[in-house]
Amino acid sequence: MSASERPLAVVTGASSGIGLELAKVFVEHGFDLVVAAENDVVHDVARALAAGGARVDPVRADLATFEGNEDLVAVVEAAGRPVDALAVNAGVGVGGDFVDDSDLRSHLRVVDLNISSAVHLAKRLVPAMVERGAGRVLFTSSVAATAPGPFHSVYAASKAFLASFSQALREELRDSGVTVTALMPGPTDTDFFRRAGMTDTKVATGPKDDPADVARAGFKALMDGDDHVVAGSLRNKAQAAASRVLPDPVKARAMRAMTEPGSGNT
């Protein structure tokens, strides 16, 4: 296919982890890309992805800021092509005791990147999909969305927001030709735990899923038009199923055993 005939996908957080693997899967399935990340690595990623014949436009942008999201939207609009798929994947976490071990700005950055950016990009890019009557949206939520998250409280709450937002938006867009899917991975072998300061927790030292497997599951659910997918191991699916029947205080206590600092050393 020529570049003009290929569908276009926008992927955020594409420099590593699940976002990078999502970008790879899109290219494998004949998409051109606009990929965004906060660091210069996104340019190397774009060159590597383009080696397979796709057009890949990199955008270095801090999506925790209003301006960064507008910079990404400007590049997408300048391409003059419809967005066939939007994968809102960029996210960050902060671990530790909310009161004593972390600073306010770090928590607010979680809100700005995980929540505000998702709302911003959806508000700016989804209306054109609706006007065309075609498009697919993927939000990377988490199994953490299914339970309160002691010692990563703002992160877990942000993922619960994304799970709720995706389902609500999906219902609003029913019969519009645009589908919305929530990707809900469990612990995954990425740089998340180091960046979040959670390397000494039980969840960080336990088994993790391959980000490539998570991305493939997310892509399949997106293309099938599913409302959500719990990706990865049976452990993740069991946690999501249990969350539907257990009360929040019980779930919070169980999560504490996995995420409390130092729990991985016992």
Per-residue pLDDT reduced to its tens digit, 25-73:
999 999 999 999 999 999 999 999 999 899 999 999 999 999 999 999 9
Q: Are strands 228-230 and 178-184 parallel, antiparallel or unpaired?
A: parallel
Is residue 155 a contact partner of residue 110, using CB atoms and an 8 Å limit? yes
Copy the structure tokens of residue 162: 């994304």
Bridge-based pairing of strands 32-37 and 8-12 is parallel
Say what the pTM is.
0.95
The CA–CA distances, whole Å, from 252 to 35, 107, 149 equal 36, 19, 6
Q: How far apart are CA 263 and CA 258, in angstroms?
A: 7
Task: Name the phi and psi angles at 245, rounded to 5.
Answer: -120, -20
Span 209-234, pLDDT tens digits = 999 999 999 999 999 999 999 998 89
Which candidate, 139, 149, 97, places its Cα nearest to that of 227?
139
Q: Which tokens hold the place of 9?
A: 């996908």
